[in-house]
A and B are shown apart, each in its own frame.
Chain A
């Protein structure tokens, strides 16, 4: 009997210790930890949506995508501040160094979390291709974020530069944060590898606020046309043709209609940002920064107004003059929000990729690849017609009469600006693809290629001592 008691005692002690140990290691009740976030397809989908949330740079109340519209258009000279003048309007970039840094790394970290979690699950936890598709979408987000970093914080225009992107391919932990930046070539290669997988496995159909293989192709077009290595332009044309022939996207018959009513329902939108539910009511919502001006006001400068000379788009993209005396010669920028309008889901919607860009990039690639100028002009004209231009309009004529490839490239840059200004930086990158001397003419405050990009935020050097060199021309402390 005594032995039995001893055994019972031992057993109960062990049970207590086991259950205590289990409780001590119990996972939090109000949040998920890395280990239990992705368990199956449904949870993988939820985590992926969390990555899109970061892609949209969202908070509970709104998607904070507006800087994708403002900074490139400001650097290119089209937009400005409504109550004064900002240093970046003169391409003084130090004060805007943080603009894309945090949101890009948050998005790609979330994407890395999805990739890690999904890879850890067996294939049979997913239906059909869904595992590959989820990975493809996550890699799209990662590629997009890396490319944003490459475009704004690395010498993307010098393929041999050591000043590339600090690439991250795993979920951040305290021990892997310190890391060195890669070279420009490595950065391009990494991004393109992600995109190739996205194109190969990405979903064919998806709501317009989720990535598809087509979005991956469009992004790859942006990447390649900027890299401009041998074969890249041809590849751009191929990608464009693939999209134009096989994708479900169709140009909107009226560009104004797209921004005023259709929004994400437009057949032209390859990838957009869906506003959060309460976004329109937010006192700092995006639309309120265009009209009437909340804490900030962003306005069109006369350079943009002049760009639309002889163009019916001037009527709806450019509003009345900004009454503030601190910012003379500026006008309300009414592409998203009309003067007198109140914020709505439509006015709060943002656009990352539209079919228009595919046409215009294809035109530019044709010119750059030494193809037929007429073919290129046809594509540009097609876009212009959708914007309501006819042969009689000056911008249309300018394209028609462009005699050299250099002249046509300038006209394509202008059309990219007119069509895609203040969307996701196409106008700025198109400007920078022009020869440096030409860039200086279009934006006289640029005197050095240093001004093409921003400095890496100083905190990075402090908290990631392995990062490496600061971008040439900027201070690291």
Chain B
């Protein structure tokens, strides 16, 4: 009976052989081919003469001679002994008895012979029969939906097989202590002991083609996609101690470039998906967190004072930027999201996927979906704890002896040069003192790096509970995370989590509520580390009375404006942010028809940000004329708040007309209002740095600021996806956005896209190629936009001013009534494939993004009373190739090895920039600090002086001096052999001056990552390596390592300076108080190529027998490390850094603001 049921079930399911083979339990069916042998069942004659034959060969022979099929567990054969048999024309029954009787039970029914393990004894069997009961149960998927057609078998008695009905229910007659095996196509097979009314959750198997991905306003199966969507496997990142989710994207998807700005705890990662498209606006992707749009932004509010960065002073970026820059790199607007709550991350890259987000999608879309409860699941509590240790990777600076040697060499070179001068100059008094006074350097031996850096600890604990009944499901979690920074005084802590409750009111009506929350506190550096690079090791950090010693810049031969100070002066500074992050939504879903669903939701994305800055009394602060006193302490407190409200309505029509025609249509509207306001107040002059530095203690109240703003967006969107014959895929999306940021005439932007997919592997000519699972060709094109720009650029504005102590309104902005959307036409072509039963998978893609009408400031005639206006003037193009390959190299029961590689290359090009076309002399170069934009060139050009060579002969010295403006005005009194020379250009009047030019290209040629996964039984080892090849980086700290113009401490690179014994050096000789360098120049630009072992995780999952005995759901322990090593030629600490992660134009310098961090952690994860 059971065999019959089994066979019937199989027939009904129409399982292809391929699928059957993938089943854990292998059933071998030897199909009869000799249908003509159809005589009576008994009386079949068999002839066999075998010695030491395998059971398998015997079975084959019997089948050939009789036409009877055999059904048995393949594993039975493994345990079977060899067979000796010699029969001639014997009855089948006799033969079977001879062959099998000692090892197996067998039954014959309808020409099918079923083999089973031999029962122990008759008595036992009778007992079993009496113990058998009808067990009922239900099989559901991860979302609690019933799965019909699941094969349910009794373990150890595989003949006993049933399948689930349309509601997922099954009934099976098994002993009370039996274990059932559940298997279904596309799902992982599961074993579970029987219990009354058992509910079995089957999980989708990792079949990349079958997996669902979240796309805009819905989900789709990966095989049905026409767009380019990458997914991040949360299992690979959940055990790595990433504080924020943006870091977890590193190296995980092709076309997604992630650069960690610096080592700040919880700091910002710069993310560019297929290159940037906006010059004035942000270039981070749009994040959709649980359906709510989140735009990354820098929330820092300028304080009343900042601190000069001696590193940035070496280049052309704003040097008065220490605190602002630290906030830009350290304050993460995605920090409120708990990584452990995240279920899926899907990255939409091409227009077919992103166009449904229209005007915000040009930089790609990252959809993050968090976990939910499951229906009919008893509560599951999961807890995770890890603690870690972070170690700083710091700049290598001179120690006391090296420093003294360098200073002395410079002093000697100065006096030698003075003696050699014509007429001879008297020795420099200071140089003589340095050389001769044994007490000049004192006795201090200070390791400043040691004083300001530490090994820091990280703690993280999170707890989640999820579950659900038939009508309601819930998930709630809370996490506490504390990350100490490796720079003293810095840390990041967070309490975050979520609450979601889904209710099924009726069969047709559901309500979902969700709240993701986060409370974050960040203590951000004010440049202590930067200062520690330059403080001389011969200076005592403290005075005799224990107070922090103030280093007078003059004692270093430096000017106050250059901003050098004792790093410990800054320790009493406060730079704290407290942020609240709330994403809440309530949605109702109603099934109007079986295939037509209506969903309406209200969502809020709320941010509250409070910032406290205090610059202590003895610190030197940046002022408009360099550096100055903080006037007994300068404090700023500011607050800002932003509320984004979304009203969304969608209609989804999902219809499978028949197996050859499937249609999915989404139509929706969205109404969104963003309101923000901010204020800040500052004061100066405090009685005390530690206690009385609240604003009310300030002697002087500084001007306060207050702003408020709003913008709104009304959108209509739709997507239609049609699947024909499961082969031809069509997707059309469109969105119209009306934004308050544009004048009425140009308010509405239209963003259509279309995508085609062809699953060529389904065509007849490939269908039967066994090793091909899937080959899909896809192509798409469409428009997306950006609107991450100021709110009121099209208005002519009057801003409040004050004159004569009274209010005034003064024209402050020339309106551009022709302002319109930046629009990106993106074209995409790709191929996705899966071969050898999913063992080798991958995709290859090409894209071209042409962004036109990019907003850029243009000049207007000054006679208008304005200097410029924002206009849609620039054009940018990005194009690139992406390759993603995955392989399961070893798929053993106990040992698995797989790997995923992605590699991408993006080529950007600025196609147009300005209105200044009438001027033939305009080089179309726009300088922004250390970078330039140039028409015809890629984004990320580094700009500065061009190092020529070290002068090696007197003739070269004379040639360099000739007409050199600086030399003629006395800047190089001792210019000689061993000094640096730079390319000069004629500036008229017979003078030559430094020529500025493009000296580096920050855009990497290729970048990507490789994830390697190894698992052996309960152990797993996951490693991620990332790489970038071909980009340049400006190493700003290196600028100071080239000369002894100042007696600040230097990096060890200065030891490679020119000396007569080292004539091939690339660094100039040292001469006290003199420098031949030209600020940031081409010799400070380095290749930023690297290969980095980004993360390694080793995890152990306690075996099921043990966890069952402990009555817990699961227990695992893991050890993880990040940034273990980097292979690079970059002489600085880490080439993967950005001094301004928000900018597209800039941000390609290593400004030495925070050390690179290596982290180790140990954690445990438990499920109850």
Contact = CB atoms under 8 A, between A and B. Distances in A.
Nearest to B915: A463
A33 B796 contact: yes
B798 A24 contact: no
Nearest to B624: A283
Contacts of A34: 795-796, 798, 815
A360 B605 CA distance: 69
B864 A60 contact: no
Contacts of B860: 174, 177, 463
A56 B801 CA distance: 12
Contact of B801 (A30, A53, A295): A53
B1088 to A, nearest CB: 37
Specify which of A37, A109, A174, A177 lies most central, judged by the most chain B CB atoms within 10 Å of its CB: A174
B443 interface: no
Contacts of B671: 16, 20
B804 A31 contact: no
Given A105-B863, A172-B865, A462 B918 contact: yes
B548 to A, nearest CB: 26
A457 B807 contact: no
Contacts of B36: none
A422 to B, nearest CB: 23
B418 interface: no
A214 interface: no
Contact of A166 (B714, B863, B919): B863
A400 B1075 CA distance: 63
Given A46-B809, A110-B811, A24 B740 contact: yes
B625 A49 contact: no
Contact of B863 (A60, A110, A460): A460
Contacts of A178: 861
B817 interface: yes
Contact of B809 (A16, A25, A47, A171): A47
B738 interface: yes
Nearest to B791: A28
A37 B809 contact: yes
Interface residues of B, number: 58
A174 B865 CA distance: 11
B710 interface: yes
A179 B795 CA distance: 22
A171 B796 contact: yes
A404 interface: no
A20 B801 contact: no
Contacts, number: 186
Given A49-B803, A105-B863, A32 B673 contact: no
B625 A58 contact: no
Contacts of A246: none
Size range of the interface on A? 35 or more
Given A20-B714, A166-B863, A172-B864, A50 B739 contact: no
A102 interface: yes
Interface in B684-703: 703
Contacts of B714: 20, 24
B811 A113 contact: yes
A78 to B, nearest CB: 27
A52 interface: yes
Contacts of B815: 33-34, 173-174
A342 interface: no
Nearest to B712: A23
Nearest to B671: A20
Given A20-B714, A52-B808, A462-B916, A109 B865 contact: yes
Interface string B299-311: 0000000000000
B411 to A, nearest CB: 29
A253 to B, nearest CB: 26
B862 A174 contact: no
Nearest to B669: A16
Interface string B1064-1094: 0000000000000000000000000000000
Nearest to B871: A174
B810 A33 contact: no
Nearest to B707: A30
Contact of A110 (B625, B738, B865, B916): B865
Contact of A32 (B806, B809, B918): B809
A276 interface: yes
B708 interface: yes
Contacts of A46: 806-809
Contacts of A30: 707-709
Interface in B390-414: none
A396 interface: no
Interface in B725-782: 738-740, 744, 747
B803 A58 contact: yes
Interface string A272-312: 00101110001110000000001100000000000000000
A372 interface: no
A109 B864 contact: yes
Contact of A26 (B707, B740, B818): B740
A180 to B, nearest CB: 11
A460 B673 contact: no
A110 to B, nearest CB: 6
Contacts of A48: 808
A25 B814 CA distance: 18
A342 to B, nearest CB: 16
Contacts of B799: 31-32
Given A31-B792, A31-B799, A172-B814, A209 B710 contact: no
Contacts of B744: 25
A465 interface: yes
B738 A24 contact: yes
A329 to B, nearest CB: 22
Contacts of A29: 708-710
A177 B861 contact: yes
A16 to B, nearest CB: 8
Specify which of B739, B813, B814, B817 lies most central, judged by the most chain A CB atoms within 10 Å of its CB: B814
Contacts of A209: 804
A32 B798 contact: yes
Interface string B616-652: 0000000111001000000000000000000000000
Contacts of B816: 174
Contacts of A33: 792, 795-798, 815
A369 B619 CA distance: 66
Given A30-B708, A33-B796, A101-B863, A284 B624 contact: yes
A179 B860 CA distance: 12
A464 interface: yes
Contacts of B801: 50, 53, 58, 60
B803 A50 contact: yes
B804 A207 contact: yes
Contacts of B812: 31
Contacts of A330: none
Specify which of B740, B801, B804, B859 lies most central, judged by the most chain A CB atoms within 10 Å of its CB: B804
A49 B809 CA distance: 7
Interface string B799-843: 111111111111111111110000000000000000000000000
B862 A60 contact: no
Interface string A257-283: 000000000000000001011100011
A335 interface: no
Given A34-B795, A46-B806, A110-B811, 17 more contacts: A25-B744, A26-B740, A30-B709, A31-B792, A31-B795, A33-B815, A51-B810, A108-B865, A110-B865, A174-B860, A274-B803, A276-B802, A282-B624, A284-B624, A463-B861, A464-B863, A467-B863
27 contacts: A20-B714, A25-B740, A26-B740, A29-B709, A31-B792, A31-B798, A32-B797, A33-B796, A33-B815, A46-B806, A47-B798, A49-B806, A50-B811, A53-B810, A105-B863, A105-B864, A109-B865, A109-B866, A173-B796, A177-B863, A209-B804, A274-B805, A276-B802, A459-B859, A459-B861, A463-B859, A464-B861
Pairs of residues from A and B, 8 with the lowest C-beta to C-beta distance, nearest first:
A109-B865, A50-B808, A49-B808, A464-B861, A50-B810, A53-B803, A463-B861, A172-B864
